[in-house]
Amino acid sequence: MAKLENDTLIRALLRQPTRYTPVWLMRQAGRYLPEYNATRARAGDFLALCKTPAAATEVTLQPLERFPLDAAILFSDILTIPDAMGLGLSFVEGEGPRFARPVRDEAAIARLAPPRPEAELRYVVDAVREIRRALASRVPLIGFAGSPFTLACYMIEGGASADFALVKKMLYQRPDLLHRVLDVNARAVADYLNAQIEAGAQAVMLFDTWGGTLAHAAYVEFSLAYIRRVIASLAREAGGERVPSIVFTKGGGPWLEQIATSGCDAIGVDWTVSLGAARARVGGRVALQGNLDPLVLLTDPDTVQREAERTLADFGDATGHVFNLGHGIVPSTPPGNVKALVQAVHAASRRDH
């Protein structure tokens, strides 16, 4: 495999010196881009887009054609795993994901088994291979999966939830059942990420979107313990290159020190934490990724530039920062503001003049 032309992301994740701060954005391929909406319409719907490697490749590359981003992220979804377990995923317009067969009782939980990446999830592995070919070593490709706990939230609730009442009831009343779901999920996520790494993913990220809704002790026992297990099972390198891992717990500010001991190379943080304070807390153990409020992108280029510079200054002059948002781009974002953001991050962080 050819050497990366731009390895700034990998170097920053490993806390090596870089000429500038690399930037990529969660949901950088998505509904704020008219070309994404056109490809999705041609594919039929969002799930068809995910399940067609050529279409997934096309949308993965769309943001890179507009902006000089320092990484591509696999176009897919975290819910491919429970879908492959047979739960029957669909996306309801304006409502989000829904499972036809959520797991709510002991019998359904006993039947759960990790899907085989090369069989039920073959379309994802194929997409990774096709994206790597299309990228031609320009920038690294990030693979990803949901955390075992965040997947369990959707599997048990059957979709989005305001309070995760079913999951939390199970957590407090039948922790044995939730642990069984999390055990299956941890094996499934590790197999899935290792298949992505083998197919060409050059860094991997765990999205723990709902871990931050847990009580302190529950986060450590039901989310972080399984993240730790996944990371311990991951291939550390591929083709002689290190494959860094990123853990993003939204609302994970209270646990940064504990997350830093999970074996990950970098922690993704949302906008509620100060990057400077976070850096002091995790010391030199891990890199940090974040953390601009995605709503800043609804303003104007000057405001975007000011807030990007504030975020860079908050992290300070040190290695180990990957610029990102604190959560995904919202669909009403003007693409011109994304361009202003990428330019501002690169210009304000240059260290070679």
Query: Which residues lie near ligand CP3 (CB under 6 A)?
Result: 26-31, 40, 46, 73, 75-79, 96-97, 144, 160, 207, 209, 328
Known active-site residue 77: yes
**Which is catalytic among the residues 27, 132, 228, 229?**
27
How far is 318 from 16, CA to CA, in rounded Å? 10
Known active-site residue 129: no
Supply the minimum distance, in Å, between the C-beta of residue 95 and ligand CP3.
Answer: 8
Supply the minimum distance, in Å, between the C-beta of residue 24 and ligand CP3.
Answer: 9
Closer CB to ligand CP3, residue 91 or residue 104?
A: 91
Closer CB to ligand CP3, residue 207 or residue 271?
A: 207
Dihedral of the alpha carbons of 288, 294, 299, 301, in degrees to the nearest 10: 40
Report long-range pairs for 276-279 (Cβ below 8 Å, ≥24 apart).
276/314, 276/315, 276/316, 278/253, 279/315, 279/316, 279/318, 279/320
**Which is catalytic among the residues 20, 32, 36, 154?**
154
Closer CB to ligand CP3, residue 75 or residue 149?
A: 75
Supply the minimum distance, in Å, between the C-beta of residue 70 and ligand CP3.
Answer: 14
Q: Which residues contact 309 (CB under 8 A, 6 or more apart)?
A: 344, 348
Closer CB to ligand CP3, residue 96 or residue 254?
A: 96
Known active-site residue 154: yes
**Which is catalytic among the residues 7, 70, 77, 191?**
77
Supply the minimum distance, in Å, between the C-beta of residue 101 and ligand CP3.
Answer: 17
Point out which residues pair with 242 in neighbouring strands.
237
Closer CB to ligand CP3, residue 30 or residue 148?
A: 30
Known active-site residue 40: yes
In terms of C-beta density within 10 A (0-12 exposed, 13-18 middle, 19 or more buried), how is residue 183 classed?
A: middle
Region of 239 please: left (phi>0), alpha (psi -120 to 50) or beta. Answer: left
Q: Which of 87, 223, 230, 226 is nearest to 156 (CA)?
A: 87
Supply the minimum distance, in Å, between the C-beta of residue 27 and ligand CP3.
Answer: 4
- Residues with a catalytic annotation lie at 27, 31, 40, 77, 154
